[in-house]
Chains A and B, each alone.
Chain A
C-alpha cells in the first residue's frame, strides 16, 4: 500500500507541475507595458538640435542623419534632435531664433549662415571616392544645339533654388553675359538637383544647372542607355554639405562635436555609422574653402536682391 501511495503522490505532483507550467505560459502583457514605460533616456541633458534642409529623398536623408544622431547622442551623453526645415528661409529663422545648434547645409546656405548669423563651419563629409567638394555645372542634352552660355538666351532653364550649383553659379554666368533678364522668366525652380536633371532629360527644359556629383551618377546611367549630357560651364570647387554651428554654441561644439566627428572613422561603430550616413569620414572644414561662393556673390552685385533670400533677421557683424 505504501508503494501505491507513493505512485499516487508522484502522479499528483506531476499533474500540479503540468498545471503550473501551463499557467506560466499565459502572456504577460503588463510586464511588457511596464518595460516600455521604463525605457531609459538621457535624463535632463539639454538636447543638441541638428538642422537639415530637404535634399533628394527626405525619408532616406532622415534615416541617414538619424544614424549619425544616435551615434552622437551616445558619445555626447545628450539627446540629438533632428530639425528638418522646409526651406532655406526656415533654416535661417531657426538659426536666428536659436532653435537649432548646428546644421548640415550646402555651400551657399553655409556661406549665408556664416555671413549673416556668425555661424562657424566645423566639418565636411568625405564621400566614397575621396570626394569632399563639388562643382556647379550648366548642362544640356548631348544632342542639343546649345554650345555656349550665350546660346541659352531665351531658353527654358531648370535650376535649384538657394544652392551654389543650381542657383548662384548659373545666375552669375548669365548675369556676366547680360542674359539673366531674358532667361529669368523661363526658369523653372526645383527643390533637388535630381529633379532639375530629370526636367532636362524629359525635354521640358533646354538646359539645367546642378552639382556635378549628382550629374555624374545620372550620366553613368545614361551612358548605359546610349544617351548623354554635355557640360557647357563648370564652377570652381566648393565644400560638400558641411556642418555649420550657431555662433553662440560654436566654441563648445568645436571642442566637443568636431573631434568626435573627425575621429569617427577610427572606431568600429563610427565606421558603421559613417557607412549608414553615406560617407567615409569627416574632414575639418574652414571658412576659407567657401571663397568661390563669396566670389560669385560679389559677382552678383546689385542682382543679389533678385535671389529669393530674405534679409537677415539680425546681423551679428
Chain B
C-alpha cells in the first residue's frame, strides 16, 4: 500500500519533470529552427545578392574585354550569365522576394534579366562591328542598371535579417527566463511533495514510538489511533492488540493480588483482635508498671500499622517494586496504590516515581 502511494506521488512528479524537459527542448528547437531560417532566408540571400552583384561586375569586365578583342571566347561569359539567371531564380524562390520593399527592387532586376540576356546574345552573335558596338552599349547600360539595383537589395535584406535576429534574441531571453521559472517552480513543488511524503511515514512512526514508551511505563490502556489504511494502520492494530493482551494479564495479576490481600486482611485482623483482647486485661490490672503500659502502647501502634498495610494491599492498582536489599526487590505500596498518569509524549509526570514497573 505504501509503495503504491509512493509510486502515485513520485510517478507524476517524474512525468512532470520529463514533460517540462521535453517542452523546453521543443521550444529551444523552435528557436533553433528560426535561427536556421534566418540563415537560409536572410544571410543566404545576402550572399546570393552579393554574388549577383559580383557576377554582373564580372560580366561587365568580360564585355569590355570582348569589345577590345582581348577575349575571344564566350564560355566564361555564358557561364556567368547562367549563374546570374540561377541566382535571380534562387532569390525569387525565397519568401523574402514577395515582401514589400524587397519585391519592388527585386522585380526590377527580374524584369531586366531577360532583356540583359537577349542583348548579350545579340551582341555575341553580331558579326558586324558597328552592330556589335550598338548591342554592347545597350548591354553595358543594362549591366550597370542591374548592378545598381543589387546594392540596395543587399542592404535591405541585411537590415531585415538584423531586425528579425534581434526579435529572436528577445524571444530566446524570455524563453530562458520562463524555463528557469518553470524548473524552479517544479523543484519547489518536488520539495513540498517530499516533505509531505516524509510526513506520511514519520507521523505514524512517532505515534507508534510514543505508544511503545507508554507501554514501557505500564500504561497498558494506551492505544494508537491511525485513521489511514495501510501498513502503519496494520502495525498500530497489532500494537493495540498486544497492549490489550498485556492489560488483560495485568488485570488478572491485580485480581490475584487483591485476593491475597483479602486473605491476609482476614487472617491478620483475627490475629490482631486476639492480641487486642489480651492486651486490655493487662492494662486494667492495678499496679501495672509504666513499662507494661509503654509496651502495650507500642504493640497497639504496630498492630495499627499492620492493619493499614493490609488495607493498602487491598487497594493496589499496579505493581511498583522498590529495592529492599542487595538483589532483592519489594512492593512499593505507596506507589502501587496510586493510579498511573497517562502522557502522550511518553515521559513520566513530574514527581512520578521512576521505579520498575512489571
A residues near B, CB below 8 A? 1, 3-4, 7-8, 11, 14-15, 18-19, 22, 25, 27, 54-59, 62, 82-87, 90, 93-94, 160-162, 188-192, 195, 308
A25-B29 in contact (CB<8A): yes
* A264 nearest CB across to chain B (Å): 24
Cα distance A90–B132 in the bound complex, in angstroms = 16
Interface centre among A8, A85, A191, A192 (most CB of B within 10 A): A191
B82-A161 in contact (CB<8A): no
A195-B29 in contact (CB<8A): no
Cα distance A160–B128 in the bound complex, in angstroms = 9
Quick one: given A25-B29, A54-B124, are A188 and B74 in contact (CB under 8 Å)? no
In the complex, whether B144 has a CB less than 8 A from a CB of chain A is no
A7-B81 in contact (CB<8A): no
Contact of B21 among A1, A15, A93, A94 (CB under 8 A): A15
Cα distance A8–B7 in the bound complex, in angstroms = 10
A59-B121 in contact (CB<8A): yes
B113-144 interface with A by 8 A CB criterion: 117, 120-122, 124-128, 131-132
By a CB distance below 8 angstroms, the chain A residues around B22 are: 15, 18
CB 8 Å contact bits of B84-123 with A (1 = contact, 0 = none): 0000000000000000000000000000000001001110
CB 8 Å contact bits of B227-248 with A (1 = contact, 0 = none): 0000000000000000000000
A1-B29 in contact (CB<8A): no
Quick one: given A22-B25, A27-B36, are A54 and B14 in contact (CB under 8 Å)? no
B125-A7 in contact (CB<8A): no
* B68 nearest CB across to chain A (Å): 12
Cα distance A195–B131 in the bound complex, in angstroms = 11
* B197 nearest CB across to chain A (Å): 12
Quick one: given A82-B75, A83-B73, are A191 and B7 in contact (CB under 8 Å)? no
A192-B29 in contact (CB<8A): no
15 CB < 8 A contacts A-B: A7-B7, A7-B11, A18-B21, A54-B74, A55-B125, A58-B120, A85-B74, A86-B124, A160-B127, A162-B127, A188-B131, A189-B127, A189-B128, A191-B126, A195-B126
Interface of A is mostly: mixed
Quick one: given A1-B3, A84-B73, A86-B72, are A191 and B125 in contact (CB under 8 Å)? yes
B234-288 interface with A by 8 A CB criterion: none
B127-A7 in contact (CB<8A): no
A90-B29 in contact (CB<8A): no
* B29 nearest CB across to chain A (Å): 6
By a CB distance below 8 angstroms, the chain B residues around A57 are: 121
* B322 nearest CB across to chain A (Å): 49
By a CB distance below 8 angstroms, the chain A residues around B29 are: 22, 25
B25-A191 in contact (CB<8A): no
By a CB distance below 8 angstroms, the chain B residues around A189 are: 126-128, 131
By a CB distance below 8 angstroms, the chain B residues around A56 are: 121, 125
A161-B121 in contact (CB<8A): no
In the complex, whether B161 has a CB less than 8 A from a CB of chain A is no
* A79 nearest CB across to chain B (Å): 14
* B46 nearest CB across to chain A (Å): 17
B75-A84 in contact (CB<8A): yes
By a CB distance below 8 angstroms, the chain A residues around B131 are: 188-191
Residue of A nearest to B85 (CB): A59
Residue tally, chain B, CB below 8 Å to A:
33
Quick one: given A11-B14, A11-B18, A59-B81, are A19 and B72 in contact (CB under 8 Å)? no
Contact of A161 among B18, B74, B128 (CB under 8 A): B128
Residue of B nearest to A86 (CB): B72
Contact of B6 among A1, A55, A160, A191 (CB under 8 A): A1
- 5 additional contacts (CB under 8 A) given A84-B78, A87-B127, A190-B131: A1-B6, A54-B124, A56-B121, A86-B72, A191-B127
Residue of B nearest to A51 (CB): B73
By a CB distance below 8 angstroms, the chain A residues around B66 are: 86
Closest 7 CB pairs of A and B: A191-B125, A161-B127, A189-B128, A84-B74, A90-B72, A191-B126, A54-B125
By a CB distance below 8 angstroms, the chain A residues around B11 are: 4, 7
Quick one: given A86-B124, A161-B127, are A7 and B14 in contact (CB under 8 Å)? yes
Cα distance A56–B15 in the bound complex, in angstroms = 71
By a CB distance below 8 angstroms, the chain A residues around B10 are: 4, 8
By a CB distance below 8 angstroms, the chain B residues around A19 are: 25
Cα distance A188–B74 in the bound complex, in angstroms = 23
B6-A11 in contact (CB<8A): no
* B120 nearest CB across to chain A (Å): 8
A11-B15 in contact (CB<8A): yes
Cα distance A15–B6 in the bound complex, in angstroms = 22
* B34 nearest CB across to chain A (Å): 14
Cα distance A8–B132 in the bound complex, in angstroms = 81
A191-B78 in contact (CB<8A): no
By a CB distance below 8 angstroms, the chain B residues around A1 are: 3, 6
B1-49 interface with A by 8 A CB criterion: 3, 6-7, 10-11, 14-15, 18, 21-22, 25, 29, 36
In the complex, whether B302 has a CB less than 8 A from a CB of chain A is no
By a CB distance below 8 angstroms, the chain B residues around A87 are: 127
In the complex, whether B298 has a CB less than 8 A from a CB of chain A is no
Cα distance A87–B69 in the bound complex, in angstroms = 11
Contact of A86 among B14, B25, B73 (CB under 8 A): B73
A190-B121 in contact (CB<8A): no
Cα distance A49–B13 in the bound complex, in angstroms = 74
